[in-house]
Structure 1
């Protein structure tokens, strides 16, 4: 099984946004050495918890600091942007790092309603034409002319460069058939809601039409995990993420993420404990062998090709350790 990295550039307690982005670069360098396939930067707006608001910019910097690992966006939130400009961005990236760039396309807003309106200059955000924008961006990247009449006289430069890989992100299965019809990879976010269904992936494969971007269907599943040398260490490091997700679901969007020591003493009601236990499928916790066995069982059940790992321990040292332990267990 291939392993990859999803980084949200988390701003943990005692760190700045600048620290978070510097640590994203370090993470890319280390995971490249460990044998990970790719690293994607997420896109988040109007948040105090993540520094990854411009993933294509961070991706360019990371590509310049690495040699082999694929670099991309998970994803570029296409509703906010001109397909023409997006295509030029990714063609430029692919010219600078040929054979290493991924165009991961997100259909969600990546932020709240205030961010949505700010990104559309106060106008009503465009949410009905997402697939039209995806089609236009893919056409421009492949040096074809999109159907829209106002694109007839333009080309997206630079020209004659290697194609980036293209992926569409999903979390419910609604995009599976549309993704297959476009002949691009399907990246499924298990950690959004813990929901998985083999029928989703079967629908993607059955609808897949080979394209210039991909000859055969490719499925990647993203998991949020916390790994430790012992189960106890993993649980200790996982508790801040569990509490943060619980508070987020209750509307406390910018509640500061606790340190493991603070989380250990955080007053949880019985209802809180039940919520965390019931939602543990959103944070896979254990030793590298336990998490590795879980991922292998998931792959056997659902038949995906690659697992993308997101983890947010408090310290960078622990975050690098999670990826190292998983690599030792699963990549040899």
Structure 2
């Protein structure tokens, strides 16, 4: 099956942001060699624990450092930007790396209220639904009339270039029908809340209208994963991710701990219960076991591609996790 990578550019404890970004390049180059389909970069603001605030910039750099893997955003947060600017950014990327760029769009803010306000230059952030904005971006990219007066006298440049693939991100199913009606791919974040369902994917497929950006309905499911040679090692290495999610639920964003620190982390009974409740949001185990679970869920839910987010402590652990999984799933 097709296998891809989602990178949030995590900054582990004791690591600099520059080192985290350099690690992303290493992972992209490994993915390029192993046959991964694509690598996306998330957009997060006002945090010292992730170095992925400008995914379109990172994607451009990584595209220049790789040869065949598709590169894009998972996703660009539309509420912060002019549709015209987004269209020109991704047409430029597509012109620089023809046939290798993905425009993945999200409706979430990717940050807290202070960052949303700052991105809006102090104005009231636009919290309305972003589906109309997505349609305008797609039309501007494809050099079509938008029906909006403000765009009547402009053309998104560079002109007449091969356009990127387009995707809409979702985590609850709300975006499924909109993705289909706009003729773009649908990327479901299973690691957010674990609510993948046939109903969500059927709603996308049943509403799909072929477009320049996507000829047939295509679904990506994104998992958080810790993969190692043995299930015991994978469990041990997963604890920094598990503790990180626990702290995130409490509004605390901390750098990724070492496995030793995470496994020695003092847990209350409530903590233990929360970890158990969130267990289904991660794939943890040997490559054989994790691959088997992905294939089983693909058969049950009918998605086309699995995207893996492996925010382990060290780049060596992350590289190994992606390598082991590729050996099982990429044929």
TM-score, normalisation: structure 2 = 0.99
Q: Describe the superposition over 1:264-309 as per-residue Cα deviations: whole angstroms up to 9, x where unpaired.
A: 2111122211211121111110000110011001100100000000
Residues in 2 aligned to 1:148 and 1:127: alpha-carbon distance in whole angstroms: 20
Q: Describe the superposition over 1:23-72 as per-residue Cα deviations: whole angstroms up to 9, x where unpaired.
A: 11111001110110000000000011100000000000001011100000
Number of the residue aligned with 1:300: 299
Number of the residue aligned with 2:221: 221
Q: Does the 8 A contact of 1:312 with 1:319 survive in 2?
A: yes
Q: How does 1:37-186 map to 2 (within 5 A)?
A: 37-186=37-186
How many corresponding residue pairs? 331
| Pairing 1:248–2:240 present | no
Residues in 2 aligned to 1:43 and 1:187: alpha-carbon distance in whole angstroms: 15
CA distance 1:39–1:259, change in 2 (3 Å): same
Q: Give the SS at the match of 2:104.
A: strand
| Pairing 1:317–2:316 present | yes
In the TM superposition, residue 196 of structure 1 has moved relative to its aligned partner by 1.3
Number of the residue aligned with 1:272: 271
Residues in 2 aligned to 1:135 and 1:15: alpha-carbon distance in whole angstroms: 40
Q: Does the 8 A contact of 1:145 with 1:155 survive in 2?
A: no
Q: Does the 8 A contact of 2:5 with 2:309 survive in 1?
A: yes
Residues in 2 aligned to 1:287 and 1:174: alpha-carbon distance in whole angstroms: 33
Residues in 1 aligned to 2:11 and 2:147: alpha-carbon distance in whole angstroms: 42
Residues in 1 aligned to 2:74 and 2:239: alpha-carbon distance in whole angstroms: 25
Number of the residue aligned with 1:233: 233
Residues in 2 aligned to 1:248 and 1:182: alpha-carbon distance in whole angstroms: 33
Number of the residue aligned with 2:327: 328
Residues in 2 aligned to 1:65 and 1:247: alpha-carbon distance in whole angstroms: 34
Residues in 2 aligned to 1:26 and 1:331: alpha-carbon distance in whole angstroms: 19
Q: Give the SS at the match of 1:89.
A: helix
Residues in 2 aligned to 1:264 and 1:212: alpha-carbon distance in whole angstroms: 49
In the TM superposition, residue 195 of structure 1 has moved relative to its aligned partner by 1.1
Number of the residue aligned with 1:188: 188
Unaligned runs of 5+ in 1: none
Larger deviation: 126-135 or 85-94?
126-135
In the TM superposition, residue 256 of structure 1 has moved relative to its aligned partner by 3.3
Residues in 2 aligned to 1:27 and 1:247: alpha-carbon distance in whole angstroms: 26
In the TM superposition, residue 321 of structure 1 has moved relative to its aligned partner by 0.1
In the TM superposition, residue 129 of structure 1 has moved relative to its aligned partner by 4.6
Q: Describe the superposition over 1:240-272 as per-residue Cα deviations: whole angstroms up to 9, x where unpaired.
A: 1111111110121x2333210111211112221
Q: Give the SS at the match of 1:221.
A: strand
Residues in 1 aligned to 2:12 and 2:256: alpha-carbon distance in whole angstroms: 6
Residues in 2 aligned to 1:219 and 1:27: alpha-carbon distance in whole angstroms: 23
Number of the residue aligned with 1:9: 9
Unaligned runs of 5+ in 2: none
Q: Give the SS at the match of 1:168.
A: strand
